[in-house]
Amino acid sequence: MAPGAVLATRTVDRPGLDPLGYDLAVIVPTFNEAANVAPLVMALDVALMGLRYEILFVDDWSRDGTPERIAELAADRADIRVIRRFDRRGLSSAVIEGMMATMAPVVAVIDADGQHDERLMPRLFALVRDGSADVAIGSRYCSAGSTGEWSRARVACSRAATRLSQLVLSAPVADPMSGFFAIRRDRVEALLPRLSGRGFKILFDLLTSSPEPLRAVELPFEFRARTAGESKLGTGVVLDYIVTIADRLIERVLPPRLVMFGGVGALGLGVHLAVLRGMLGLSGAGFDEAQTVAVIAAIAFNFAINNMITFRDRRLKGWRLLTGLATFYTVCGLGALANVGIGALLFAEHHRWWVSGVAGALVGSLWNFLASTLVTWRKR
């Protein structure tokens, strides 16, 4: 055998095994789909014949009898389950919670309303199981795909959204908004801390949160009309989608840690003012003393919150808290000097007072962020 052949077999990376023996978990998010769940289960049973699969509904407290219908279906079957969530809505988070509640190596998502062609699912599943793809997508736009009986306006909207999404996708995907796909569970698990979990486009969330592009394969299918019930996606969802894209764009330009550090700094300013006000009002202290105490308190506050949130993955504990606080005071002290220095320099060059002030503060804050990342919360 050629050496290359050995290497090839060794590098095929397949998803693992489920201790319960399922190959596939089908996640079905539901909200008021009472009339649709039984036909869906029937259709899945036909389409997936020969596979070991479980069907996992995630219902957000439907009041139309959906969970009761599911309970009837599940009465004599261990492979049908329902997770019920109270007082929460959200397609993405429902799907994520469903994926986390199974040990099957491959998870697939499908609408409850019959719009997705379940006959495609065995092929989506096979692509992922064989290691040919990390995620296999049932796509509404590929050459032979179709949008069925969608209204014209909705098709236009959906196309525009897809085009917009290409801005933040690392690899081109024709239908990144699809709600019909199969994915390796271990990939989802690795991405969990990065998912926004907000909104309704879980596939988009997964694709854009992966540092290395997921290997995606798309198969076209004809998007059918809803069987019963009504669509839950209204204008709120569009807004949500725009926020999600903006989120990802900002994240690409500004590291999330820097944004968080800035946010904590803004809170710290609030602490500073509160302490200053308190000192001046209560103890009748002079301004200089009050200001000094306020600075000390605000820096300690920033340290504590940054340690808890911004740098939670490098959190300092025990005696390191003390040395960390000491280095943070030093860093912020130098930052303040830089702040004053830059401000004075610009002001001396006849820049406006507020331009000088803002520039000083920006440089000082940036210094604080960089220096504390490298010193106080350095990687160990």
Ligand X SMILES: Nc1nc2c(ncn2[C@@H]2O[C@H](COP(=O)(O)OP(=O)(O)O)[C@@H](O)[C@H]2O)c(=O)[nH]1
Q: Which does 67 bind (CB under 5 to 8 A by kind): Mg ion, ligand X, none?
A: none
Q: Which does 33 bind (CB under 5 to 8 A by kind): ligand X, Mg ion, none?
A: ligand X
> Distance of CA 30 to CAs 33, 56, 98, 102, Å?
6, 10, 11, 17
Q: Judged by CB, which is closer to Mg ion: 156, or 225?
A: 225
Residue 185 has a CB neighbour count (10 Å cut-off) of 21
Closest alpha carbon to 233 in 66, 85, 31: 31
Closest alpha carbon to 185 in 116, 96, 111, 124: 96
Q: Judged by CB, which is closer to ligand X: 105, or 179?
A: 179
Residue 62: CB minimum distance to ligand X, A: 8
Collapsing DSSP to helix, strand or coil, 219 comes out as: strand
Q: Judged by CB, which is closer to Mg ion: 38, or 171?
A: 38
Residues linked to residue 222 through DSSP beta bridges, in sequence order: 146
Q: Judged by CB, which is closer to ligand X: 10, or 152?
A: 152
Q: Judged by CB, which is closer to Mg ion: 115, or 310?
A: 115
Which pair of structure tokens corresponds to residue 16?
A: 């693992």
Specify the pairing of strand 106-109 against strand 181-184. antiparallel
Q: Judged by CB, which is closer to Mg ion: 76, or 230?
A: 230
The 90-119 contact track toward Mg ion, x by CB under 5 A, reads ---------------------x-x-x----
Residue 227: CB minimum distance to Mg ion, A: 9
Q: Distance between terminal CA atoms of the chain?
A: 45
Which residues sit at the interface with ligand X, rule CB under 6 A? Answer: 29-31, 33, 58-60, 89-91, 94, 111-113, 115, 179, 231-233
Q: Which does 23 bind (CB under 5 to 8 A by kind): ligand X, Mg ion, none?
A: none
The 113-152 contact track toward Mg ion, x by CB under 5 A, reads x-x-------------------------------------
Q: Which does 94 bind (CB under 5 to 8 A by kind): Mg ion, ligand X, none?
A: ligand X
> If you ran DSSP here, which 8-state letter would residue 282 be given?
I
Phi-psi region of 284 (alpha: psi -120 to 50; beta: other; left: phi over 0): left
Residue 184: CB minimum distance to ligand X, A: 22
The 259-298 contact track toward Mg ion, x by CB under 5 A, reads ----------------------------------------
Tell me the HSE value of 51 on the side-chain side, using a 13 A CA sphere: 22
Q: How far apart are CA 74 and CA 80, in angstroms?
A: 5
β-sheet with 53-59: strand ranges across? 80-84, 53-59, 24-30, 106-109, 181-184, 135-139, 216-220
Q: Judged by CB, which is closer to Mg ion: 127, or 177?
A: 177
> If you ran DSSP here, which 8-state letter would residue 67 be given?
H
Q: Which does 378 bind (CB under 5 to 8 A by kind): ligand X, Mg ion, none?
A: none
Residue 92: CB minimum distance to ligand X, A: 9
The amino acid occupying position 258 is: L
Q: Which residues bind Mg ion (CB under 5 A)?
A: 111, 113, 115
